[in-house]
Amino acid sequence: MRTRVGIVGAGPAGLLLAHLLAAEGIDVVVLERRSRAHCESRIRAGVLEQATADTLTAAGVGDRMRAEGHVHHGIELRFGGEGHRIAFDELVPGRAITVYGQQEVVKDLIAANLANGVDLRFEVEGITLGGIDGEPHLQWAGGRLDCDFIAGCDGFHGVSRASVPAGRLTAYEKTYPFAWLGVLAAVAPSAPELVYSASDRGFSLHSMRSDTVSRFYLQVPPETRPEDWSAAAIWDELKARHETVPGFTLATGPVMSVDVAAMRSFVAEPMRFGRLLLAGDAAHIVPPTGAKGLNLAVADVRVLARALGEYYRSGREDLLDAYSATCLERVWRAQHFSWWMTTLLHRFADADAYDRRLQRAHLDYVARSRAQATALAENYVGPPYEG
């Protein structure tokens, strides 16, 4: 087979790229090693920046997001027995976040691609990349796809970045000394907006997926396994970390799923290697504290789709040449914000009394300073796109 762009990975990055390119008449084939059911059910991020929501709407895949998603105009920082609202509507007027699960975005994109006749192939085993400096191709058990470009959108553990020859990639990485226990529960949210709670017991986040389903996270040791926590222990700890302000009671309900997410930061530079272009988690990951992973993937794809579209319209390669530098400017801004939020809110085991007092002073400053609150707000809702 032959196509113009071979896309590895049917996550948000690969699916959105396929949809945008197909809309411009550019032939694509998407290869995914997992099943469609797995891709549509994997629970991941659920906070969409303003620019991400606008992108999905402009691409014609935002109808269900607008009908079922929850638009939030602020978040709460909870510490020291008080709650402090960071009001996006006051600090960054006209910009908000939309709470809408990543798996729902994936469902919408799969449906749109199939409706448009895009060649999506699931459960493709043994994918390998070749010819990235000359004649790019993808091979798997029983098949081969020749293409002009390969878009590596297959995540942190995928084959795309691993196919880059030694010495051509610089990796920047930081691992945090804790993990997040993620809990999905069949219970109505106890707060109207996301609550970031910092306490002596560790960090905790109260989020939501719908009017009847809530999502919670607990800071836990990095070696934690989901089976280490019973439902009773989960609710006890969530209550201890969230019921720290007068009048707040955390509603409980059946636990639907429990998972553990490692906390790390990673950036691969550059993001282009000949005819191979990395996007999303294949090129960079952030700790989920700042809710940037999915949003960075969408930002990458916007740049890449524009660059490939211009290449096929006019033969210009300057946008492709600038792809990595263009994306990395936004990536490093998000890296800093995610690191900042993580260090601001989590309890570090090796922190001494001085470190803890500094952390509390920083939290007080964010809560009391309009300038600091504005910096948090504009980074959280995400910068607008340029060009």
Q: Supply the range of the domain harboring residue 163.
A: 2-70+100-174+264-348
Residue 374: Cβ-neighbour burial (10 angstroms; 0-12, 13-18, 19+): middle
d(CA 347, CA 263): 13
Domain annotation covers residue 301? yes
CB atoms within 10 A of CB 76: 18
pLDDT at res. 126: 96
Contacts of 134 (CB under 8 A, 6+ apart): 274, 275
The structure tokens listed for 296 are 């960075």
Domain annotation covers residue 387? no
Spatial CA neighbour of 107 closest among 39, 164, 56: 39
pLDDT at res. 387: 54
With 70 as the cut, is the pLDDT of residue 26 above it? yes
d(CA 371, CA 173): 30
Contacts of 276 (CB under 8 A, 6+ apart): 129, 132, 136, 149, 150, 152, 160, 163, 164
Contact assessment for residue 27 and residue 4, using Cβ atoms and an 8 Å cutoff? yes
pLDDT at res. 46: 86
With 70 as the cut, is the pLDDT of residue 5 above it? yes
CB atoms within 10 A of CB 211: 10
Domain annotation covers residue 356? no
- pTM (predicted TM-score): 0.96
With 90 as the cut, is the pLDDT of residue 45 above it? no
> Is 129 strand, coil or helix?
strand
Domain annotation covers residue 370? no
Domain annotation covers residue 258? no
**Residue 149's CATH number:** 3.50.50.60
With 80 as the cut, is the pLDDT of residue 43 above it? no
Contact assessment for residue 296 and residue 334, using Cβ atoms and an 8 Å cutoff? yes
With 80 as the cut, is the pLDDT of residue 44 above it? no
Contact assessment for residue 251 and residue 185, using Cβ atoms and an 8 Å cutoff? no
Q: Which residue has the tokens 């510490």?
A: 79
Contacts of 230 (CB under 8 A, 6+ apart): none
The model's pLDDT over 237-286, given as tens digits with 9 standing for 90+, comes to 999 999 999 999 999 999 999 999 999 999 999 999 999 999 999 999 99
Residue 47: half-sphere exposure toward Cβ, Cα within 13 Å? 24
Domain annotation covers residue 181? no
Domain annotation covers residue 153? yes
Contacts of 155 (CB under 8 A, 6+ apart): 9, 11, 280, 281, 282
- Average pLDDT of the segment spanning 178-195: 97
- Average pLDDT of the segment spanning 177-199: 97
Active site residues: 72, 196, 288, 292, 380
CB atoms within 10 A of CB 82: 12
Helix (H) or strand (E) holding 185: strand 170-185
CA angle, 159 then 161 then 166, to 5°: 115
Domain annotation covers residue 285? yes
Number of domains in the chain: 1
